[in-house]
Amino acid sequence: MRDRHPSVSGSFYEADPAALESRIKWCFLHKVGPGKLPSKPVSSERKICALISPHAGYIYSGPVAAHGFFEVSKEPPPDTVVLIGPNHTGMGAAVSVWEGGDWLTPLGRVRVDQDVSRSIATSGAAEPDSDAHEYEHSVEVQIPFLQYVFGSGFRIVPICMMLQDFETSRELGEAIAAAVRGRSALLIASTDFSHYVPYKSAYARDSLVIEEILGMNPKGVEEVVRSKEITMCGPGPVMAVMAASLALGADRCRKLCYATSGDTSGPKGDVVGYGSFSIEFK
């Protein structure tokens, strides 16, 4: 099985390991970020079932993403991380689960949980496929954060969604829940919110989707995105993670941070919205 090499190192994030670690620390310490670096776990049990995390270049979305990774750093590391991102390239299957070899980043090698991958593929909710993942950044950019926080002891299950309607997302979410039930697993939905809209419009429009996310209403996410024509690129991963979390018994969602590229690094003309959320067990 061939390994998956980085596609966006050197562009979305630094290719040099030391520079990448420095950038990740910058994300945590940024004024929009948590303001401090992760430390050792402070809890002996895991309460967080899932994160919703952005996936732009680290200088833009990294400080927002850092909030979610800061929260999971307080808990024991999961054994498996299921990562679901949208398909920006148009390559591969409608819903693709990676069943190939390890994933590499400048911070090292991450193994794939073949058992969970096969279980999801066997369910029919996703198709074993590598083409969709070849140049896709939405899953890749989450992994260096995971390596920084958890080290090298976890495994991943990368999933890429081209088809993002509610029924497809629900079926995928239920398949993920069945595959990880009884395991120590963390789910991550990778998405950005409104793309290239005025600063105030991003906050106003994205708040409509955020209301549905906080209400744990995946169908509502689809309805708002479609009816209000919100240019959110990953509603499918978000709905899938919400469906999986509900099936696993997690029904509380917290907003950790919402900000835009205008808040982190860029001008406040046309911006992209980013959100970080945790879905938790009571």
User: What tens digit of pLDDT does each residue of 37-94 get?
Assistant: 998 888 889 999 999 999 999 999 999 999 999 999 999 999 999 999 999 999 999 9
Q: What angle do CA 50, 55, 58 make, to 5 degrees?
A: 120
What is the arithmetic mean of pLDDT over 86-110? 97
* Residue 223 falls inside a structural domain: yes
What is the tens place of the pLDDT at every residue in 155-171? 999 999 999 999 999 99
The identity of residue 256, as a single letter, is: L
Give the per-residue pLDDT at 29.
Answer: 98
To which H or E segment does residue 280 belong?
strand 273-280
Q: d(Cα 27, Cα 45) in Å, to the nearest integer? A: 26
Residue 153 lies in a domain: yes
71 belongs to a structural domain: yes
Q: Is residue 141 part of a domain?
A: yes
Q: What's the CA gap between 258 and 51, in Å, rounded? A: 13
Q: Is residue 12 part of a domain?
A: no
Pick from 272, 257, 191, 273: nearest CA to 35: 257
167-219 confidence digits (pLDDT tens)? 999 999 999 999 999 999 999 999 999 999 999 999 999 999 999 999 999 99
CATH of the domain at 215: 3.40.830.10
Tokens at 128, concatenated: 């074993």
With H, G, I as helix, E, B as strand and everything else as coil, classify residue 89. coil
**164 domain-assigned:** yes
What total number of domains does the chain contain?
1
Answer yes or no: is 185 within a domain.
yes
| pLDDT (0 to 100) of residue 164 | 98
**What's the confidence (pLDDT) of residue 5?**
97
Q: For residue 212, give its domain range.
A: 17-280
